[in-house]
Amino acid sequence: MKLFIKVIIFIFFLFVLSVPIILINQDLSFKKTADLLFFIHRGLGLYAFSLIFLALVMGSSITLLDRLFTPGRTFIVHQIIASLGFALAILHPASLLSTYISEGNLSYVIPFLLGINLFYFLLGIFALLLLILTVSSALLRFRLGPRWLSIHRFNYLVFWLVFFHSLYLGVDTQLSFARVIFLIYGVIVAVVTIRRILVNRV
């Protein structure tokens, strides 16, 4: 039974990591350098979101995962995935701004600042700032003591901010398949969030 659960978890991880590749296969025509930079921007965003999702699910299930795998290794894998997600989250806006170097203008950025798009764009910026705070708390956990975990739990908010930011502004998240996947991710995070709240109350 334990082996079967491990296989299911492994398949789940592979699926989540393959979703960005499936989604970003749309529109692969690059007429200029800025198109390639914007494509990279899209890919970084999808993978940052996927890794943040995996890190959040793992982090909220460390105790359960330690029963299936070697205790301690789960946390290490969680740290690696979270670190990669953080790095890609930093590179995501940087790659968008890099289109300025190629174009000499902000033509790729301006559409995100118009109308209601600005609200969802700001959600992404706030999520990144909050992510920097939560990652910093993890790095400084030995100095902060138990307080670091309270700060680190803001990652649940980070997920939802990125969720709506990506779902509304993402070029590759407008497909029906992407919407279904996002809905599934949202349900999973909602479940682990409720579970975490109940566990903390016990």
Q: How far apart are CA 50 and CA 159, in angstroms?
A: 10
pLDDT one-digit tens code per residue, 150-179? 888 899 999 999 999 999 998 888 888 899
The CATH code of the domain that includes 37 is 1.20.120
The dihedral formed by the CA atoms of 102, 106, 110 and 113, expressed in degrees to the nearest 10: 110
pLDDT one-digit tens code per residue, 95-123? 999 988 888 888 889 999 999 999 999 99
Report how many domains make up the chain: 1
Q: How far apart are CA 146 and CA 70, in angstroms?
A: 24
Q: What is the pLDDT of residue 52?
A: 95
Range of the domain at 196: 2-21+30-201
